[in-house]
Amino acid sequence: MKPDPKGPSCIAVGGQAVMEGVMMRSAHSFAVACRIPTGEILIKEQKWQSVWDRMRFLRWPFFRGIVTLGEALVNGFSALTWSANMQIRHTPAGPDGKKEEELSGGGAALAITISLLFAMGLFVALPHFATMLLGLDASSLSFHLVDGVIKLVVLLAYMGAIGFLPDIKRVFAYHGAEHKSIFAHEAGLPLTVDNARKFTRFHPRCGTSFLFLVLAISIIVFSLTLQFRILPWGWADNLLKVFIKIPMMLPVAGIAYELIRLSGKYHNNPLLRPV
């Protein structure tokens, strides 16, 4: 299988939407641009070093997906925090003279930790126990299929609910702009508004697509690896399986990353287009 001749020329570039702007990340640096309340666009550029520069084995397939996901999370929170702080810093004080406090580095680290714990509870533990309450056997294929459907419902409901929050709504508004910027960069064009407008807002390596792919792969992996009872007690067996599922999300993410990577590299291949 050969890469598409008209495919991306620089597949190592990723990005995400931030508060009133866009972040783009390459192998050793990232840049953030956001619009502040005055209408001015601020830009931040920052170098960073991947952990796999020091541990080469982390570049191997499946390992690299886990590393990329972790580093994207850290860099993404850094960019999102900076863009949010710029909005706060350049917003005039209210009638009482008070301004919202900016988020510190320690606050961002705490936010990442809380977000991860919340995600594991909402997308791993909740669907599992909800499926258990339906009376299905946790060792059966039907359990994992229903568990996956509940995960999908929870994910869609969560994304829909947070979309009503004013700050998150402004982040979502730049999701398509981020995709267009990545497309323009991969096509070797200068990053201008006119160039970005030429491209679709749907990108094959979209993080949202990654989430749905993780969901599908987790159904397959969990149904193959957890098709037996570990403990004789129902609740204890299910609780243990939830704790087993959490670290298993790492190899699941690694598999999903490889498929997303292939879909971006061979985006005209009919077998990979659905991904």
pLDDT category at 85 given cuts 50, 70, 90 is very high
CB–CB of 216/148 below 8 Å?
A: yes
3-state secondary structure of 46: strand
Measured over the CA atoms of residue 64, residue 70, residue 72 and residue 74, the dihedral's sign is negative
pLDDT > 70: percent of the chain: 91
Nearest 5°: phi and psi at 177?
-65, -40
pLDDT tens, residue by residue, 130-172: 999 999 988 888 999 999 999 999 999 999 999 899 888 889 9
pLDDT category at 1 given cuts 50, 70, 90 is very low
pLDDT tens, residue by residue, 18-34: 999 999 888 888 899 99
Paired tokens of 105: 């580095």
Calculate the dihedral angle through the C-alpha atoms of 240, 243, 245, 246, rounding to the nearest 10 degrees: 180
Q: Residue range 84-94: average pLDDT? A: 87
Paired tokens of 53: 């520069």
